[in-house]
Amino acid sequence: MQPVDFTTLMAVAQDLRNHWVPSRCEQVVQWDTTSLALALRTFDQQAWLTLAWHPQAARLHLAEAPPRGQDTFTFSRQLKHQLNHLALVAIDGVADWERVLDLQFGPRPGDPPQWHLYVEIMGKYSNVILVNAQNLIVTAAHQVSDQQSRVRPIQTGDRYTPPPPLMARLPSLQADQQGWQERLTLVPERLSRGLMQNYAGLSSALVRSLLAKADLESDPPTDYLTQADWNRLFQVWRRWLLTLQTGDFHPALTPHGYTVLAWDQPVTLTIHQVLHHYYRDQLNQQQFNHLKNQLHQKLKGNLAKLQQKITLFTQRLEDSDQADQYRRQADLLMAYGHQWQPGLTQMMLEDFITGEVVKIAIDPDKTAIQQAQRLYRQHQKLNRARIAVAPLLAAETTELAYLQQVEAALSELTHYTEAADLDILIDIRNELIQQQYLAAPDYGSSQQRPGKTEGFRQGLSPDGLTVLIGRNNRQNDQLVATIATDNDLWFHSQEIPGSHVLLRIDPGQVASDRDRQYAADLAAYFSRARQADQVPVVYTQPRHLYKPRGGRPGMVLYKQATVIWGQPRRVEAAFS
């Protein structure tokens, strides 16, 4: 993940100074352990300023409103108590080329600051620290003890000290090309490595951008560059430093991240939009991968346990089928008990119903009557087992079908492409929490999100009818309960876990055979039978659907339906 470097931070600071100083802090909201937002208001605009000290995504930029939820963090409460209704009167740096901004707050614009909020963007050492007018630390996102750092502890009541000074040489517009070039060629090595080792304030992303502007994208060794290459690179170097001086930043998203030096492109996004889009997608991707793996492992474990239980219960029921055989053998022993003689280990008796000769094993220490009593007890035991096991098997089978349905929805989320993908995954996580398969997190990310009508997969039938496809059980329930009308048609793979598919039909319209076939193909494709050539699919009107009492999410029954064969291969190209 690309870190916010000094150049990017200066671009953010300049825009905030130009448009948001002065402004009033009206609210402080923290929604997770590494992110909070300040609500800023001027005479004509309002926005949320995101401050994040995430070890991989530390940043500062304007963004959309934070997610709703209960703020239970002590740090944000302390900031809220001190900064609410104060004015952001200035934004300064603390030292040359340091990635630290000092956000200063006072009673009114023009007043001396009463509070300093230091935002330190320094990778895994990032922090947000509130300091009073006497330069004493009041609170910090990360408290750092003496045992953790002897160089720079950060604790409530201590005096605030800036980070240790940079040891590398600082870039300067006053430096001439000869001295700059000699410094970089002193030790032959890759150009990017030489730049970052010899000068402070550079990041790998910035160096890649500078080399690309100088037509040196291959990152050659310093001793391979021609003088023409050095001349172009030095001109780009000076232009970068001049940009820092004048503030003429050109932010843009790139295939590998973002830049604020897109000089040859028109500015279409603000620096805040660039940072918001990039880090939102990167963090969503990270959360998506982590959550998908967590859910996959949880489902895998639960499905394996259910399969074991079902196998055990099925075996118990098969064993109980022998109960009648034990009773018949006991009846025969009772009827022919007079034929028993001491020491017999078996008796050959004629079944008085079928006429067949039945071989019955006899314990030599027991009489025929005692053996019959033993068989009667086994018969009763197996009968009790059948009565007890049958409902357990039915319950486990129902639970297995439900989890297979959840697994089918999870398997459709192969990789992250948009924010809706993460929303679908969070819905699945929340559903499993609600069904008590997962424990809720320590803070409010498990809260139920309001239902949305967007986010469904959509298709268009050959005759132009809209087809909606549920992506998880919440959406499947929503399709049936709130979206479907009596004119629509509902499709689902027959007795196979898969998505609910709804063919939308306006009043007066009639779905053609090819429309129904298209919807059936989609129901087959978005099921666990996707690899089959043909899949049985049922369809019916939504009025024939009902949810059983106590039914799991996404589970519905139908009173009547028509079977049609879906062919998943016909729609594979459009949705793969």
| Amino acid sitting at position 338 | H
Distance CA 351, CA 331 (A): 9
Mean pLDDT of 447-466: 74
- State the pTM of this model: 0.78
| Amino acid sitting at position 527 | S
Enter the CATH code of domain 6-140. Answer: 2.30.310.10
pLDDT at residue 223, rounded to an integer: 87
Task: State the DSSP H helix or E strand holding residue 374, giving kind and residue range, or none if neither.
Answer: helix 368-412
pLDDT at residue 218, rounded to an integer: 81
Minimum mean pLDDT among 30-44, 130-144, 339-353: which range?
A: 339-353
Distance CA 334, CA 355 (A): 17
How far are the Cα atoms of 422, 430, 513, 550 from residue 435, in angstroms, in the given order? 20, 9, 39, 12
pLDDT at residue 447, rounded to an integer: 45
Pairwise pLDDT comparison (34 vs 363), residue with the higher score: 34
Residue 451 has pLDDT above 50, yes or no: no
What single string gives the DSSP state of each residue in 206-242? HHHHHHHHTT-TT--BGGG--HHHHHHHHHHHHHHHH
Task: Report which of 151, 1, 25 is spatially closest to residue 88, judged by C-alpha positions.
Answer: 25
Distance CA 424, CA 103 (A): 38
Look up tokens 């993460």; give the residue: 422
- Binned at pLDDT 50, 70 and 90, residue 448 comes out as very low
Dihedral sign, Cα of residue 430, residue 435, residue 441, residue 447: positive
Three-state DSSP at 112 gives coil
Minimum mean pLDDT among 194-203, 376-385, 399-408, 547-556: which range?
A: 376-385
How far are the Cα atoms of 32, 73, 428 from residue 443, in angstroms, in the given order? 8, 9, 18
pLDDT at residue 247, rounded to an integer: 92
Residue 576 has pLDDT above 80, yes or no: no
Residue 450 has pLDDT above 50, yes or no: no
DSSP state of 529: T
- Cross-strand bridge partners of residue 357: 350
256 contacts: CB under 8 Å, gap ≥ 6: 2, 205, 208
Distance CA 532, CA 528 (A): 9
Task: Report which of 178, 175, 209, 160 is spatially closest to residue 7, judged by C-alpha positions.
Answer: 209
Mean pLDDT of 39-63: 95
pLDDT digits (tens, 9 = 90+) for 66-110: 988 788 899 999 999 999 999 999 999 999 999 999 999 999 998
Which residue blocks in 214-367 are alpha helix, DSSP H?
A: 227-246, 271-320, 323-335
Contact 490, 545 (CB under 8 A): yes
pLDDT digits (tens, 9 = 90+) for 250-293: 999 998 899 999 988 888 999 999 999 999 999 999 999 999 99
pLDDT at residue 454, rounded to an integer: 62
- Binned at pLDDT 50, 70 and 90, residue 445 comes out as very low
Q: How far is CA 215 from the centre of its chain?
A: 39
pLDDT at residue 571, rounded to an integer: 92
Distance CA 297, CA 318 (A): 32
Residue 444 has pLDDT above 70, yes or no: no
Pairwise pLDDT comparison (317 vs 34), residue with the higher score: 34
- Binned at pLDDT 50, 70 and 90, residue 443 comes out as low
- Angle made by CA atoms 450, 456, 50, in degrees to the nearest 5: 50
pLDDT at residue 287, rounded to an integer: 92
Domain ranges of the chain: 6-140, 177-269, 457-575
pLDDT at residue 440, rounded to an integer: 79
Residue 548 has pLDDT above 50, yes or no: yes
Residue 207 has pLDDT above 90, yes or no: yes
> Six-digit token pair at 191?
């150009």
| Amino acid sitting at position 526 | F
Percent of the chain with pLDDT over 70: 97
Distance CA 170, CA 141 (A): 29
Minimum mean pLDDT among 104-118, 165-179, 368-382, 435-449: which range?
A: 435-449
pLDDT at residue 405, rounded to an integer: 92
Compute, in degrees rounded to 10, the torsion defined by CA atoms 138, 141, 144, 149: -120
Quickly count: other Cβ atoms within 10 Å of residue 114's Cβ.
15
pLDDT at residue 569, rounded to an integer: 92
4 backbone dihedrals φ, ψ, rounded to 5°: -75, 115
